Structure 1
Protein backbone atom coordinates (compact mmCIF):
# COMPACT_ATOMS: atom_id res chain seq x y z
CA UNK A 1 0.00 0.00 0.00
CA UNK A 2 2.83 2.39 0.78
CA UNK A 3 4.19 1.94 -2.74
CA UNK A 4 0.81 2.84 -4.21
CA UNK A 5 0.70 5.92 -1.99
CA UNK A 6 4.14 7.02 -3.17
CA UNK A 7 3.17 6.45 -6.79
CA UNK A 8 0.06 8.60 -6.38
CA UNK A 9 2.08 11.36 -4.72
CA UNK A 10 4.66 11.35 -7.50
CA UNK A 11 1.96 11.34 -10.18
CA UNK A 12 0.23 14.27 -8.49
CA UNK A 13 3.49 16.21 -8.23
CA UNK A 14 4.21 15.66 -11.93
CA UNK A 15 0.65 16.61 -12.86
CA UNK A 16 1.06 19.90 -10.99
CA UNK A 17 4.66 20.69 -11.94
CA UNK A 18 4.49 20.02 -15.68
CA UNK A 19 1.82 22.61 -16.54
CA UNK A 20 3.31 25.00 -13.98
CA UNK A 21 6.76 25.02 -15.60
CA UNK A 22 5.28 24.97 -19.09
CA UNK A 23 2.95 27.93 -18.60
CA UNK A 24 3.96 29.91 -15.51
CA UNK A 25 7.56 29.53 -14.27
CA UNK A 26 10.69 27.83 -15.55
CA UNK A 27 14.23 27.28 -14.31
CA UNK A 28 17.14 28.52 -16.43
CA UNK A 29 20.92 28.19 -15.96
CA UNK A 30 23.44 30.72 -17.27
CA UNK A 31 26.10 28.80 -19.20
CA UNK A 32 28.15 31.61 -20.79
CA UNK A 33 29.71 34.93 -19.84
CA UNK A 34 27.75 36.98 -22.39
CA UNK A 35 25.72 38.74 -19.68
CA UNK A 36 28.56 39.46 -17.24
CA UNK A 37 28.73 41.22 -14.87
CA UNK A 38 24.94 41.19 -14.51
CA UNK A 39 24.67 37.41 -14.71
CA UNK A 40 27.47 34.92 -14.05
CA UNK A 41 28.06 31.39 -15.29
CA UNK A 42 26.06 29.00 -13.10
CA UNK A 43 23.53 31.54 -11.95
CA UNK A 44 20.21 29.67 -11.82
CA UNK A 45 17.19 31.84 -12.60
CA UNK A 46 13.46 31.62 -12.07
CA UNK A 47 11.75 32.74 -15.27
CA UNK A 48 8.22 34.14 -15.46
CA UNK A 49 6.75 32.53 -18.60
CA UNK A 50 3.23 33.90 -18.16
CA UNK A 51 4.03 37.61 -18.44
CA UNK A 52 4.63 37.58 -22.21
CA UNK A 53 2.30 34.68 -22.96
CA UNK A 54 3.48 31.06 -22.76
CA UNK A 55 3.14 28.54 -25.57
CA UNK A 56 0.92 25.60 -24.60
CA UNK A 57 2.79 22.29 -25.19
CA UNK A 58 1.60 20.00 -27.99
CA UNK A 59 -0.95 22.41 -29.48
CA UNK A 60 1.37 25.45 -29.79
CA UNK A 61 -1.24 28.05 -28.81
CA UNK A 62 0.00 30.98 -26.69
CA UNK A 63 -1.72 32.06 -23.50
CA UNK A 64 -2.86 35.72 -23.31
CA UNK A 65 -0.03 38.25 -23.08
CA UNK A 66 -0.03 40.31 -19.89
CA UNK A 67 2.31 42.90 -21.40
CA UNK A 68 5.03 43.35 -24.02
CA UNK A 69 8.79 43.31 -23.26
CA UNK A 70 10.15 46.71 -22.24
CA UNK A 71 13.35 48.50 -23.08
CA UNK A 72 16.35 47.64 -20.88
CA UNK A 73 14.80 44.60 -19.17
CA UNK A 74 16.18 41.07 -19.38
CA UNK A 75 14.35 38.40 -21.34
CA UNK A 76 14.82 34.70 -21.97
CA UNK A 77 14.45 33.86 -25.64
CA UNK A 78 14.63 31.11 -28.20
CA UNK A 79 17.62 31.46 -30.51
CA UNK A 80 17.07 32.54 -34.12
CA UNK A 81 19.85 30.56 -35.77
CA UNK A 82 19.48 27.61 -33.38
CA UNK A 83 15.89 27.50 -32.06
CA UNK A 84 16.76 24.66 -29.68
CA UNK A 85 18.96 27.06 -27.72
CA UNK A 86 17.51 29.12 -24.89
CA UNK A 87 19.46 32.28 -24.05
CA UNK A 88 19.09 35.46 -22.00
CA UNK A 89 19.75 38.97 -23.32
CA UNK A 90 18.79 42.58 -22.60
CA UNK A 91 16.14 44.38 -24.63
CA UNK A 92 17.85 47.34 -26.31
CA UNK A 93 14.93 48.46 -28.44
CA UNK A 94 11.31 47.67 -29.25
CA UNK A 95 9.25 48.10 -32.42
CA UNK A 96 9.64 51.57 -33.92
CA UNK A 97 12.86 52.46 -32.09
CA UNK A 98 15.80 53.80 -34.10
CA UNK A 99 19.13 52.34 -32.97
CA UNK A 100 22.73 53.15 -33.81
CA UNK A 101 26.21 52.67 -32.40
CA UNK A 102 29.08 55.10 -32.84
CA UNK A 103 32.51 54.11 -31.51
CA UNK A 104 30.93 51.73 -28.96
CA UNK A 105 28.40 54.35 -27.80
CA UNK A 106 24.79 53.17 -28.14
CA UNK A 107 22.01 55.56 -29.18
CA UNK A 108 18.28 54.88 -29.04
CA UNK A 109 16.03 57.39 -30.79
CA UNK A 110 18.97 59.80 -30.75
CA UNK A 111 19.53 59.51 -26.99
CA UNK A 112 22.72 58.00 -25.55
CA UNK A 113 22.17 54.72 -23.69
CA UNK A 114 24.84 54.11 -21.01
CA UNK A 115 26.75 50.84 -21.12
CA UNK A 116 26.10 48.25 -18.39
CA UNK A 117 27.94 48.84 -15.13
CA UNK A 118 31.60 47.78 -15.15
CA UNK A 119 31.56 47.01 -18.89
CA UNK A 120 35.01 47.45 -20.43
CA UNK A 121 35.61 47.29 -24.15
CA UNK A 122 37.98 44.57 -25.32
CA UNK A 123 40.54 46.27 -27.62
CA UNK A 124 41.18 42.90 -29.29
CA UNK A 125 37.55 42.43 -30.32
CA UNK A 126 37.26 42.80 -34.09
CA UNK A 127 35.42 41.43 -37.12
CA UNK A 128 36.64 40.38 -40.54
CA UNK A 129 35.11 41.66 -43.78
CA UNK A 130 32.84 38.63 -44.22
CA UNK A 131 31.33 39.16 -40.77
CA UNK A 132 30.76 42.83 -41.56
CA UNK A 133 29.03 41.94 -44.82
CA UNK A 134 26.77 39.51 -42.92
CA UNK A 135 25.73 42.26 -40.49
CA UNK A 136 25.14 44.71 -43.33
CA UNK A 137 22.93 42.16 -45.11
CA UNK A 138 20.29 42.00 -42.37
CA UNK A 139 20.53 45.70 -41.53
CA UNK A 140 20.13 47.14 -45.04
CA UNK A 141 16.33 46.73 -45.34
CA UNK A 142 15.96 48.49 -41.97
CA UNK A 143 18.43 51.37 -42.40
CA UNK A 144 17.22 54.95 -42.12
CA UNK A 145 17.19 56.30 -45.71
CA UNK A 146 20.26 58.34 -46.69
CA UNK A 147 21.76 57.96 -43.20
CA UNK A 148 24.82 55.85 -44.07
CA UNK A 149 27.69 56.17 -46.51
CA UNK A 150 28.84 53.48 -48.90
CA UNK A 151 30.44 51.06 -48.72
CA UNK A 152 28.46 50.23 -45.58
CA UNK A 153 30.50 47.76 -43.53
CA UNK A 154 29.29 47.85 -39.91
CA UNK A 155 31.02 46.10 -37.02
CA UNK A 156 30.13 45.40 -33.39
CA UNK A 157 30.85 48.98 -32.31
CA UNK A 158 29.71 51.08 -35.28
CA UNK A 159 26.43 50.47 -37.10
CA UNK A 160 23.06 51.91 -38.06
CA UNK A 161 20.90 53.82 -37.70
CA UNK A 162 18.14 51.32 -38.40
CA UNK A 163 14.50 51.08 -37.34
CA UNK A 164 13.13 48.01 -35.54
CA UNK A 165 10.11 46.66 -37.47
CA UNK A 166 6.71 45.87 -35.97
CA UNK A 167 6.44 42.80 -33.70
CA UNK A 168 10.23 42.64 -33.27
CA UNK A 169 12.84 43.50 -30.63
CA UNK A 170 16.58 44.12 -30.66
CA UNK A 171 18.65 42.47 -27.92
CA UNK A 172 22.28 42.50 -26.80
CA UNK A 173 24.39 40.94 -24.08
CA UNK A 174 25.76 43.13 -21.29
CA UNK A 175 29.27 41.79 -21.94
CA UNK A 176 29.21 43.34 -25.38
CA UNK A 177 32.55 42.10 -26.69
CA UNK A 178 31.82 38.51 -25.65
CA UNK A 179 28.18 38.26 -26.67
CA UNK A 180 26.69 36.67 -29.77
CA UNK A 181 23.48 38.66 -30.04
CA UNK A 182 21.23 40.79 -32.22
CA UNK A 183 24.19 42.59 -33.76
CA UNK A 184 25.09 39.30 -35.44
CA UNK A 185 21.73 37.69 -36.24
CA UNK A 186 19.40 40.67 -36.46
CA UNK A 187 16.08 41.71 -34.95
CA UNK A 188 14.19 39.23 -32.79
CA UNK A 189 10.61 38.18 -33.62
CA UNK A 190 8.32 38.64 -30.63
CA UNK A 191 7.26 35.00 -30.87
CA UNK A 192 10.79 33.98 -29.86
CA UNK A 193 10.43 35.53 -26.40
CA UNK A 194 9.99 32.90 -23.68
CA UNK A 195 9.80 34.88 -20.47
CA UNK A 196 11.32 37.30 -18.00
CA UNK A 197 13.84 36.26 -15.32
CA UNK A 198 12.89 37.69 -11.95
CA UNK A 199 15.21 36.07 -9.38
CA UNK A 200 18.45 34.13 -8.94
CA UNK A 201 17.55 31.16 -6.77
CA UNK A 202 20.96 29.44 -6.76
CA UNK A 203 24.52 30.21 -7.86
CA UNK A 204 27.95 28.65 -7.46
CA UNK A 205 31.43 29.26 -8.82
CA UNK A 206 32.30 26.56 -11.40
CA UNK A 207 35.98 27.61 -11.40
CA UNK A 208 36.46 26.96 -7.69
CA UNK A 209 39.32 24.65 -6.68
CA UNK A 210 37.21 23.23 -3.88
CA UNK A 211 35.64 19.78 -4.23
CA UNK A 212 31.89 19.68 -4.88
CA UNK A 213 31.70 23.40 -5.78
CA UNK A 214 27.90 23.29 -5.96
CA UNK A 215 28.07 22.85 -2.18
CA UNK A 216 31.38 24.43 -1.17
CA UNK A 217 31.47 27.39 -3.59
CA UNK A 218 27.93 28.72 -3.37
CA UNK A 219 27.73 32.45 -4.15
CA UNK A 220 25.57 33.32 -1.15
CA UNK A 221 25.57 37.04 -1.95
CA UNK A 222 23.76 36.37 -5.25
CA UNK A 223 20.90 34.25 -3.95
CA UNK A 224 17.35 35.60 -4.27
CA UNK A 225 18.50 38.74 -6.06
CA UNK A 226 16.69 40.24 -9.01
CA UNK A 227 19.07 39.80 -11.98
CA UNK A 228 19.22 43.43 -13.07
Structure 2
Protein backbone atom coordinates (compact mmCIF):
# COMPACT_ATOMS: atom_id res chain seq x y z
CA UNK A 1 0.00 0.00 0.00
CA UNK A 2 1.41 3.39 -1.04
CA UNK A 3 -0.82 5.50 1.22
CA UNK A 4 -2.58 4.93 4.53
CA UNK A 5 -5.95 6.53 5.30
CA UNK A 6 -6.16 7.68 8.91
CA UNK A 7 -7.93 4.88 10.84
CA UNK A 8 -8.25 2.70 7.75
CA UNK A 9 -11.96 2.10 6.95
CA UNK A 10 -12.94 5.22 8.86
CA UNK A 11 -15.27 6.51 6.14
CA UNK A 12 -17.33 3.32 6.17
CA UNK A 13 -17.37 3.24 9.98
CA UNK A 14 -18.50 6.88 10.09
CA UNK A 15 -21.21 6.21 7.52
CA UNK A 16 -22.62 3.27 9.48
CA UNK A 17 -22.51 5.22 12.76
CA UNK A 18 -24.17 8.22 11.13
CA UNK A 19 -27.00 6.07 9.76
CA UNK A 20 -27.58 4.32 13.10
CA UNK A 21 -27.48 7.46 15.25
CA UNK A 22 -29.48 9.37 12.62
CA UNK A 23 -32.26 6.78 12.66
CA UNK A 24 -32.38 6.86 16.46
CA UNK A 25 -32.43 10.68 16.43
CA UNK A 26 -35.29 10.77 13.92
CA UNK A 27 -37.29 8.14 15.82
CA UNK A 28 -36.89 10.15 19.00
CA UNK A 29 -37.94 13.44 17.40
CA UNK A 30 -40.93 12.06 15.49
CA UNK A 31 -42.04 9.08 17.63
CA UNK A 32 -40.49 8.59 21.08
CA UNK A 33 -40.65 12.26 22.15
CA UNK A 34 -44.36 12.41 21.33
CA UNK A 35 -44.97 9.19 23.24
CA UNK A 36 -43.16 10.62 26.27
CA UNK A 37 -45.20 13.84 25.99
CA UNK A 38 -48.48 11.90 25.97
CA UNK A 39 -47.35 9.82 28.94
CA UNK A 40 -46.34 12.98 30.83
CA UNK A 41 -49.69 14.67 30.07
CA UNK A 42 -51.58 11.60 31.27
CA UNK A 43 -49.55 11.44 34.49
CA UNK A 44 -50.06 15.17 35.14
CA UNK A 45 -53.80 14.87 34.52
CA UNK A 46 -53.98 11.98 36.97
CA UNK A 47 -51.96 13.94 39.54
CA UNK A 48 -54.15 17.03 39.14
CA UNK A 49 -57.34 14.98 39.49
CA UNK A 50 -56.06 13.31 42.65
CA UNK A 51 -54.95 16.66 44.11
CA UNK A 52 -58.29 18.28 43.35
CA UNK A 53 -60.17 15.38 44.93
CA UNK A 54 -58.12 15.53 48.12
CA UNK A 55 -58.53 19.31 48.29
CA UNK A 56 -62.31 18.95 47.89
CA UNK A 57 -62.32 16.50 50.81
CA UNK A 58 -60.58 19.07 52.95
CA UNK A 59 -57.20 17.39 52.85
CA UNK A 60 -54.36 19.82 52.39
CA UNK A 61 -51.90 18.62 49.71
CA UNK A 62 -48.42 20.12 49.29
CA UNK A 63 -47.82 19.76 45.54
CA UNK A 64 -44.97 22.27 45.34
CA UNK A 65 -42.46 20.97 42.81
CA UNK A 66 -44.19 17.61 42.56
CA UNK A 67 -45.88 18.42 39.27
CA UNK A 68 -42.59 19.51 37.63
CA UNK A 69 -40.89 16.38 38.94
CA UNK A 70 -43.55 14.11 37.43
CA UNK A 71 -43.30 15.89 34.07
CA UNK A 72 -39.49 15.77 33.99
CA UNK A 73 -39.39 12.08 34.88
CA UNK A 74 -41.69 11.18 31.97
CA UNK A 75 -39.98 13.45 29.42
CA UNK A 76 -36.45 12.33 30.29
CA UNK A 77 -34.71 10.54 27.38
CA UNK A 78 -33.36 7.03 27.93
CA UNK A 79 -29.55 7.03 28.12
CA UNK A 80 -29.08 5.25 24.77
CA UNK A 81 -31.29 7.79 23.00
CA UNK A 82 -29.64 10.74 24.75
CA UNK A 83 -26.13 9.65 23.71
CA UNK A 84 -27.19 8.82 20.15
CA UNK A 85 -28.88 12.20 19.75
CA UNK A 86 -25.80 13.99 21.09
CA UNK A 87 -23.35 12.16 18.83
CA UNK A 88 -25.41 12.26 15.61
CA UNK A 89 -24.71 15.91 14.59
CA UNK A 90 -21.00 15.52 15.43
CA UNK A 91 -20.66 12.30 13.44
CA UNK A 92 -22.63 13.78 10.53
CA UNK A 93 -20.43 16.89 10.45
CA UNK A 94 -17.21 14.84 10.49
CA UNK A 95 -18.57 12.55 7.78
CA UNK A 96 -19.48 15.47 5.50
CA UNK A 97 -16.16 17.26 6.04
CA UNK A 98 -14.14 14.09 5.44
CA UNK A 99 -16.19 12.82 2.50
CA UNK A 100 -16.68 16.03 0.51
CA UNK A 101 -14.04 18.51 1.66
CA UNK A 102 -10.79 17.17 3.18
CA UNK A 103 -9.43 13.77 4.16
CA UNK A 104 -6.25 13.01 6.15
CA UNK A 105 -3.72 10.36 5.10
CA UNK A 106 -0.36 9.15 6.33
CA UNK A 107 2.64 8.51 4.06
CA UNK A 108 4.09 5.02 4.77
CA UNK A 109 6.49 4.63 1.82
CA UNK A 110 9.31 6.55 0.12
CA UNK A 111 7.96 6.61 -3.45
CA UNK A 112 7.30 10.38 -3.29
CA UNK A 113 10.57 11.44 -1.61
CA UNK A 114 11.73 14.23 -1.50
CA UNK A 115 8.28 15.85 -1.82
CA UNK A 116 6.67 13.61 0.81
CA UNK A 117 8.54 11.69 3.50
CA UNK A 118 7.63 8.58 5.45
CA UNK A 119 5.62 9.72 8.46
CA UNK A 120 4.12 12.82 6.84
CA UNK A 121 0.46 13.36 7.63
CA UNK A 122 -1.15 15.04 4.64
CA UNK A 123 -4.50 16.64 3.92
CA UNK A 124 -6.26 15.86 0.64
CA UNK A 125 -8.72 18.24 -1.01
CA UNK A 126 -11.68 15.99 -1.93
CA UNK A 127 -13.53 18.53 -4.10
CA UNK A 128 -10.63 19.86 -6.22
CA UNK A 129 -11.55 17.56 -9.12
CA UNK A 130 -15.31 17.34 -8.52
CA UNK A 131 -17.84 16.26 -5.92
CA UNK A 132 -17.99 12.49 -5.47
CA UNK A 133 -20.38 10.33 -3.51
CA UNK A 134 -18.68 8.83 -0.45
CA UNK A 135 -17.98 5.09 -0.22
CA UNK A 136 -18.68 4.42 -3.95
CA UNK A 137 -16.52 7.39 -5.14
CA UNK A 138 -18.86 8.28 -8.02
CA UNK A 139 -18.51 11.82 -9.41
CA UNK A 140 -21.79 13.74 -9.38
CA UNK A 141 -20.54 17.29 -9.96
CA UNK A 142 -17.55 18.36 -12.02
CA UNK A 143 -15.34 21.19 -10.75
CA UNK A 144 -11.92 20.79 -12.37
CA UNK A 145 -9.48 18.32 -13.87
CA UNK A 146 -6.05 17.18 -12.68
CA UNK A 147 -3.16 19.13 -14.17
CA UNK A 148 0.43 18.09 -14.86
CA UNK A 149 2.42 18.48 -11.69
CA UNK A 150 -0.48 17.88 -9.27
CA UNK A 151 0.17 15.47 -6.41
CA UNK A 152 -2.91 13.29 -6.54
CA UNK A 153 -4.43 10.56 -4.38
CA UNK A 154 -6.30 7.80 -6.20
CA UNK A 155 -7.56 4.26 -5.86
CA UNK A 156 -4.96 1.75 -7.03
CA UNK A 157 -6.35 0.35 -10.31
CA UNK A 158 -5.44 -3.23 -9.39
CA UNK A 159 -6.98 -3.04 -5.90
CA UNK A 160 -9.62 -0.38 -5.26
CA UNK A 161 -9.29 -0.88 -1.50
CA UNK A 162 -5.81 0.69 -1.60
CA UNK A 163 -5.06 4.41 -1.85
CA UNK A 164 -1.98 5.54 -3.79
CA UNK A 165 -0.34 8.94 -4.13
CA UNK A 166 1.77 10.00 -7.13
CA UNK A 167 2.39 13.03 -9.31
CA UNK A 168 0.35 13.67 -12.46
CA UNK A 169 2.77 13.53 -15.39
CA UNK A 170 0.37 13.04 -18.29
CA UNK A 171 -3.24 14.12 -18.84
CA UNK A 172 -5.63 12.71 -21.49
CA UNK A 173 -4.14 12.99 -24.96
CA UNK A 174 -0.55 13.56 -23.82
CA UNK A 175 2.32 11.58 -25.29
CA UNK A 176 4.73 10.65 -22.49
CA UNK A 177 8.25 9.40 -23.23
CA UNK A 178 10.89 8.36 -20.70
CA UNK A 179 14.47 7.69 -21.79
CA UNK A 180 17.75 7.89 -19.87
CA UNK A 181 15.70 8.90 -16.82
CA UNK A 182 14.41 11.99 -18.56
CA UNK A 183 10.82 12.81 -19.50
CA UNK A 184 9.44 14.27 -22.69
CA UNK A 185 5.83 15.44 -22.88
CA UNK A 186 4.22 15.80 -26.31
CA UNK A 187 7.63 15.64 -27.95
CA UNK A 188 9.15 18.41 -25.81
CA UNK A 189 11.93 17.45 -23.36
CA UNK A 190 11.16 18.37 -19.76
CA UNK A 191 13.67 20.78 -18.18
CA UNK A 192 15.93 19.43 -15.41
CA UNK A 193 18.13 21.51 -13.11
CA UNK A 194 20.76 19.65 -11.02
CA UNK A 195 20.66 20.14 -7.25
CA UNK A 196 22.81 18.93 -4.35
CA UNK A 197 22.65 15.19 -3.80
CA UNK A 198 19.87 14.03 -1.47
CA UNK A 199 20.67 11.85 1.57
CA UNK A 200 17.92 9.41 2.42
CA UNK A 201 17.30 9.63 6.18
CA UNK A 202 16.08 6.04 6.37
CA UNK A 203 18.85 4.53 4.29
CA UNK A 204 22.46 5.79 4.15
CA UNK A 205 22.24 6.36 0.38
CA UNK A 206 22.79 9.49 -1.67
CA UNK A 207 20.48 10.13 -4.62
CA UNK A 208 20.90 12.47 -7.54
CA UNK A 209 18.42 15.32 -7.09
CA UNK A 210 16.95 17.52 -9.80
CA UNK A 211 14.33 20.21 -10.18
CA UNK A 212 11.90 18.97 -12.81
CA UNK A 213 9.80 21.63 -14.56
CA UNK A 214 6.57 20.65 -16.28
CA UNK A 215 4.62 22.81 -18.71
CA UNK A 216 1.03 23.51 -17.60
CA UNK A 217 -1.30 25.63 -19.76
CA UNK A 218 1.35 28.08 -20.89
CA UNK A 219 2.99 28.24 -17.46
CA UNK A 220 5.46 25.99 -15.66
CA UNK A 221 5.45 24.05 -12.41
CA UNK A 222 8.63 22.90 -10.70
CA UNK A 223 9.24 20.15 -8.16
CA UNK A 224 12.11 17.97 -6.99
CA UNK A 225 12.76 14.41 -8.15
CA UNK A 226 15.39 11.80 -7.29
CA UNK A 227 17.41 9.35 -9.37
CA UNK A 228 19.50 6.53 -7.97
CA UNK A 229 22.84 5.69 -9.58
CA UNK A 230 23.13 2.11 -10.73
CA UNK A 231 19.40 1.57 -11.24
CA UNK A 232 17.96 1.05 -14.70
CA UNK A 233 15.40 3.35 -16.31
CA UNK A 234 12.76 0.75 -15.46
CA UNK A 235 12.44 -3.00 -15.18
CA UNK A 236 10.81 -4.20 -18.38
CA UNK A 237 10.19 -7.64 -16.87
CA UNK A 238 7.80 -6.23 -14.25
CA UNK A 239 5.58 -4.30 -16.67
CA UNK A 240 2.06 -5.70 -16.35
CA UNK A 241 -0.66 -6.30 -18.91
CA UNK A 242 -2.81 -3.34 -17.89
CA UNK A 243 -5.86 -1.78 -19.63
CA UNK A 244 -4.87 0.29 -22.69
CA UNK A 245 -1.48 -1.45 -22.73
CA UNK A 246 -1.59 -1.08 -26.52
CA UNK A 247 -1.21 2.71 -26.06
CA UNK A 248 2.36 2.15 -24.82
CA UNK A 249 5.53 1.13 -26.62
CA UNK A 250 8.24 -0.37 -24.41
CA UNK A 251 11.86 -1.15 -25.20
CA UNK A 252 14.80 -2.06 -22.98
CA UNK A 253 15.65 1.49 -21.89
CA UNK A 254 12.72 3.60 -23.12
CA UNK A 255 8.97 3.74 -23.24
CA UNK A 256 6.36 5.96 -24.87
CA UNK A 257 2.69 6.10 -23.85
CA UNK A 258 -0.26 8.03 -25.26
CA UNK A 259 -2.60 8.76 -22.35
CA UNK A 260 -6.13 7.56 -23.21
CA UNK A 261 -9.17 9.77 -22.76
CA UNK A 262 -10.41 9.78 -19.17
CA UNK A 263 -7.07 8.52 -17.81
CA UNK A 264 -3.90 9.92 -16.25
CA UNK A 265 -0.24 8.90 -16.24
CA UNK A 266 1.27 8.96 -12.74
CA UNK A 267 4.87 8.75 -11.50
CA UNK A 268 6.52 8.95 -8.09
CA UNK A 269 9.10 11.67 -7.46
CA UNK A 270 11.53 9.03 -6.20
CA UNK A 271 11.74 7.82 -9.79
CA UNK A 272 13.88 4.71 -9.35
CA UNK A 273 11.98 3.56 -6.27
CA UNK A 274 8.36 3.93 -7.30
CA UNK A 275 5.83 1.46 -8.67
CA UNK A 276 3.68 3.67 -10.87
CA UNK A 277 2.05 4.01 -14.29
CA UNK A 278 5.22 2.72 -15.94
CA UNK A 279 4.43 -0.71 -14.49
CA UNK A 280 0.69 -1.01 -13.73
CA UNK A 281 -0.80 1.46 -16.19
CA UNK A 282 -3.08 4.47 -16.28
CA UNK A 283 -5.35 5.85 -13.57
CA UNK A 284 -8.99 6.24 -14.69
CA UNK A 285 -10.87 9.38 -13.67
CA UNK A 286 -13.28 7.25 -11.62
CA UNK A 287 -10.38 6.25 -9.32
CA UNK A 288 -9.50 9.82 -8.29
CA UNK A 289 -9.77 10.62 -4.57
CA UNK A 290 -8.42 14.17 -4.46
CA UNK A 291 -5.49 16.56 -4.55
CA UNK A 292 -2.81 16.52 -1.83
CA UNK A 293 -2.46 20.10 -0.60
CA UNK A 294 -0.54 20.25 2.68
CA UNK A 295 1.58 18.33 5.18
CA UNK A 296 -0.18 19.08 8.46
CA UNK A 297 2.09 17.05 10.76
CA UNK A 298 5.15 14.85 10.97
CA UNK A 299 5.76 13.86 14.59
CA UNK A 300 9.39 13.03 13.88
CA UNK A 301 10.03 16.28 12.02
CA UNK A 302 7.55 19.12 12.72
CA UNK A 303 9.43 21.37 10.27
CA UNK A 304 7.80 19.34 7.50
CA UNK A 305 4.50 21.18 8.04
CA UNK A 306 3.61 23.22 4.95
CA UNK A 307 2.17 23.20 1.46
CA UNK A 308 2.91 20.51 -1.11
CA UNK A 309 4.51 21.51 -4.42
Tell me which interval the TM-score lies in, with the shorter structure as reference length: 0.7 to 0.9
Which of 146, 149, 153 is 2:251 aligned to?
A: 153
1:38 maps onto 2:115 in alignment:
yes
User: Could you say what the CA RMSD is over the residues aligned between the two structures, in angstroms?
Assistant: 2.6
5+ residue gaps, structure 1, are: 206-218
- Normalised by the length of structure 1, the TM-score is 0.78
In the alignment of these two chains, the number of paired residues is 202
The alpha-carbon deviation at position 227 of structure 1 amounts to 1.4
Contact 1:45 1:197 (C-alpha < 8 Å) held by counterparts:
yes
Which of 89, 93, 101 is 1:16 aligned to?
A: 93
Secondary structure of 1:84's aligned partner: coil
Q: Which has the larger radius of gyration?
A: 2
The 2-side partners of 1:127 and 1:117 are apart by 19
Cα 1:221–1:188 change in 2 (3 A) is same
Instruction: Give the match for residue 209 of structure 1.
Output: none
Contact 1:54 1:194 (C-alpha < 8 Å) held by counterparts:
no
Larger RCO: Structure 1 or Structure 2 (Cα < 8 Å, ≥ 6 residues apart)? 1
Secondary structure of 1:12's aligned partner: helix
1:127-166 equivalences under 5 Å are: 130-131=237-238, 134=240, 141-143=246-248, 153-154=251-252, 158-160=254-256, 162-166=257-261
Cα 1:128–1:62 change in 2 (3 A) is closer
The structure richer in strand per residue is 2
The structure richer in helix per residue is 2
The 1-side partners of 2:238 and 2:225 are apart by 27
- Normalised by the length of structure 2, the TM-score is 0.59
Which of 56, 76, 79 is 2:133 aligned to?
A: 56
Secondary structure of 2:237's aligned partner: helix
The 1-side partners of 2:149 and 2:137 are apart by 28
5+ residue gaps, structure 2, are: 1-75, 193-211, 213-222
Deviations 1:75-99 (A, max 9, x none): 1110011211101100001011111
The 2-side partners of 1:74 and 1:126 are apart by 22
The 2-side partners of 1:139 and 1:103 are apart by 24
1:162-181 equivalences under 5 Å are: 162-181=257-276
The alpha-carbon deviation at position 24 of structure 1 amounts to 1.4
